[in-house]
Amino acid sequence: MGNFTEHIKVPEPDLSRYQPLNLETVITYVKQRPELQELFSPDEELVSSEVGDGNLNLVFRIQAKNDPARSIIIKQALPYVRLVGDSWPLSPDRAIIEGKALAIFSAICPDLTPKLYYTDYDMYLNIMEDLAPRIILRKGLIKRQHYPNFTKHIGRYLARTLGETSDLYLDPQLKKWNAAQFTNPQLCKITEDLVFTNPYIKDGNGNHFNPLIAKEVEVIQNDEELHAEMAELKDAFMSHGQALIHGDLHTGSIMVDAATTKVMDPEFAFYGPAGFDIGAVIGNLFLNYASHEGHTLDPGERREYQQYLLDLAKGVWENFVAEFQFVWEKQDPVQRPDAYRERYMLKLIQDTAGFGGAKMMRRIIGLAHVEDLESIADPEKRAVAERLGLAIGRRLVKERSHFSSISDIINVVLTSRPEVF
Ligand code: SR1
Ligand code: MG
């Protein structure tokens, strides 16, 4: 047997003109960028701050000193995982992927995507619209805020980005060229490991969790049926290039105010299963739902907000389905008849449930957790919320083949209890 892998060329990033920026050099950099000369005049004073709280990158805000509302964001990829340090190298190519994905997603949904000023292929950075004073959706949900336009916006974002980049809509040759632009092996590997693999292995790499939920974690790590489902979901993630997906669409990748919604940070973008993005949104709403077991101690207030979160999840799916009609209206009834549409949508809701559930469990057991749960100071109260999150996530994954509607998914949340595992 020959070794064919020697014929596979793995491209190396060119770091010869790359410098990680700091609070001073970022200002010099901005002043030199021709694309920003209309925004900032060459001799005006600029102020920089580091605003990144993500796991991977440097994020700077640069403001005109005399007019702070005139501002931009520079997001620069480091050649390693920021959360862990330089012991975990990671190609800064993700900044190029993010720039290309932002360009596509903003061509599809300009009002729901930050404006991209420039992608610097040498410095591995993107210069973008500053989305402040909007806040990260996750933070708003922790404070029990309401966002009346969110489901309409995100339903349209999901339907148009997933629909327009799929074979249901895009010319199949263009789709394949597009897929080639979004080969993203290193970031996919993070998801393959951190979402689908490590949390299910005892002492899996990077795993950490509240010691009070050790019993539930043990059940999950010994659940062979769950592991088989997880292998199937991982296989779908790795091999089902259905649409250009955002790839990390949790509630920390969405910024909101009372009226508007913006989806940012698509550095994990690649051609993958559409349900991974829808599941990410819904799974993160359910993580927030579980977190109110610890944040909102008044039972009436808690029930009311948890019901609101379930209404949001239902609204996300229903708005997605309504917006996704544009794809079905375009189909040839012989090649893709109604019966095919029904099968496609059935598979999609089951994928949404499975990926959503997987994303819930990884945020409780795996390397990267979420503020919704981490900000519950009392470990006992946090454990109650985490148990509920695990119970919902596990059932979404294991029971998904019986689901045919969003009500089936919501019903899992309504009938799960932290104490029943
Ligand atoms: C090591 S990166 C950890 C996580 O941060 C990102 O937001 C992704 O969700 C990734 O899995
Ligand atoms: Mg991110």
Tens of pLDDT, residue by residue over 38-76, are 999 988 999 999 998 878 999 999 999 999 999 999 999
Pocket test for ligand 1, best of 190, 193, 198 (most atoms within 8 A of CB): 190
> Candidates 53, 55, 82, 254: which one to mutate for ligand 1, based on the most atoms within 8 Å of Cβ?
55
Report the share of the chain in percent with pLDDT over 70: 100
What tokens were used for 207?
A: 């795993």
| Ligand 1 pocket, residue 194 CB under 6 Å | yes
Residue-level pLDDT at 1: 66
Residue 265 alpha carbon, nearest atom of ligand 1: 7
Q: Considering the chain, what percentage of its residues have pLDDT values greater than 90?
A: 96
Burial 83-119 (b: 16+ CB within 10 A, else e): eeeeeeebbbbbbbbbbbbbebbbebbeebbbebbeb
38/156 Cα distance (integer angstroms): 32
Ligand 1: atom nearest CA of 190 is 11
- pLDDT, tens only, 283-332: 999 999 999 999 999 999 999 999 999 999 999 999 999 999 999 999 99
For residue 248, how far is its CA from the centre of ligand 1 (angstroms)? 8
Helix (H, G, I), strand (E, B) or coil at 403: coil
Please give the pLDDT value at position 34: 94
Both tokens of 162, joined, read 């997933």
Whole-prediction pTM value? 0.97
Q: What is the pLDDT of residue 52?
A: 86
In the reported structure, the alpha carbon of residue 330 is separated from the centroid of ligand 1 by a whole-number distance in angstroms of 36
What are the start-end ranges of the E strands in 211-337? 243-245, 254-256, 261-263, 270-272
Q: Where are the alpha helices (DSSP H) in 296-405?
A: 299-323, 325-329, 338-365, 371-374, 379-398
Give the model confidence (pLDDT) of 379-395 as tens digits: 999 999 999 999 999 99
**55 within ligand 1 shell (Cβ under 6 A):** yes
Atom number in ligand 1 closest to CA 88: 1
Residue-wise pLDDT for 149-187, tens only, equals 999 999 999 999 999 999 999 999 999 999 999 999 999
- Average pLDDT of the chain? 97
Strand, coil or helix: 117: strand
56 lines ligand 1 (CB under 6 A): yes
Closest C-alpha residue for ligand 1 atom 3: 368
In the reported structure, the alpha carbon of residue 368 is separated from the centroid of ligand 2 by a whole-number distance in angstroms of: 11
Which residue lies with its CA nearest to atom 6 of ligand 1? 55
DSSP string, 5-37: GGG---PPP--TT-----TTHHHHHHHH-GGGT
Nearest to 118 by CA among 130, 107, 128, 133: 128
Q: Which residue's C-alpha comes closest to atom 4 of ligand 1?
A: 368
According to DSSP, residue 89 is labeled: E
Estimate to the nearest angstrom the gap between the alpha carbon of 245 and the chain centroid: 9
Nearest atom of ligand 1 to the alpha carbon of 253: 7
CA distance 189 to 247: 12
Q: Which atom of ligand 1 is nearest to the CA of 362?
A: 11
Chain length of the chain: 421
Mean local confidence (pLDDT), 349-359:
99
- Contact by Cβ (8 Å): 170, 164: yes
| Confidence band, pLDDT 50/70/90 cuts, at residue 83 | confident
- The predicted model gives 185-193 an average pLDDT of 97
The mean pLDDT value for 109-134 works out to 98
